[in-house]
Amino acid sequence: MGILIDSSVLINIERAGMDLSACILGHEEEDAFLSVISASELLHGVQRATDARTRARRLAFVEGVLAAIPVLSIDTATARSHALLWADLARRGEMIGVHDSWLAAACLAHGLRLATGNLREFRRVPGLEVAEWH
């Protein structure tokens, strides 16, 4: 089974000044992926930097991530999974963040586990296998 890495994990690694390989250490047996949604979130963090030095540091980290981890696009299978998940969560009154719902849908559509530091949101998603990574 592969694993989709949530941006929360990568943001924590960048903030701690750790190397990206530390994130994958101990999980080499799984194919790791990044959602296009998480790629956008990371790039957004670069754009929100308040000074040039922080922006440069973040950009270097994000570009390293994008070069090292394959990015999954939103395909029709993910769109179908998202529509089902969105309707189910709305019906139960247990909505999660819009970006998080796309990540969960990608995992469900492609048989992936989700590595995240945000268990609270993702535990509401039936059938989603979640791994807590810090």
Task: Render pLDDT for 22-80 as a digit per residue (tens, 0 to 9).
Answer: 666 666 678 999 999 999 999 999 999 999 999 999 999 999 999 999 999 999 999 99
Per-residue confidence (pLDDT) for residue 92, from 0 to 100: 96
Write down the architecture of domain 2-132 according to CATH.
3-Layer(aba) Sandwich (3.40)
Per-residue confidence (pLDDT) for residue 29, from 0 to 100: 75
Name the residue among 38, 57, 40, 41 with its Cα closest to residue 49. 57
Cα dihedral across residues 26, 3, 115, 61: positive or negative: positive
Look at residue 2 and tell me whether its pLDDT is greater than 90.
yes
**CA–CA gap between residue 119 and residue 123 (Å, rounded):** 6
pTM for the model: 0.91
**CA–CA gap between residue 18 and residue 13 (Å, rounded):** 5
Q: Give the pLDDT band (50/70/90) at residue 8.
A: very high
**CA–CA gap between residue 97 and residue 102 (Å, rounded):** 9
**CA–CA gap between residue 95 and residue 125 (Å, rounded):** 9
Look at residue 107 and tell me whether its pLDDT is greater than 80.
yes
SS3 111: coil
SS3 20: helix
Other CB atoms within 10 A of residue 131 CB: 16
Domain ranges within the chain, ordered by starting residue: 2-132
Give percent of the chain above pLDDT 70.
Answer: 94
Give strand ranges (E) for 1-134: 2-5, 32-35, 71-72, 112-116, 130-132
Per-residue confidence (pLDDT) for residue 81, from 0 to 100: 98
Per-residue confidence (pLDDT) for residue 53, from 0 to 100: 96
Tokens read off for 28: 């080499």
Average predicted confidence (pLDDT) for the chain:
92
Contact (CB, 8 A) for 113 and 129: yes
Per-residue confidence (pLDDT) for residue 3, from 0 to 100: 94
The larger pLDDT score, comparing residue 23 to residue 88, is at 88
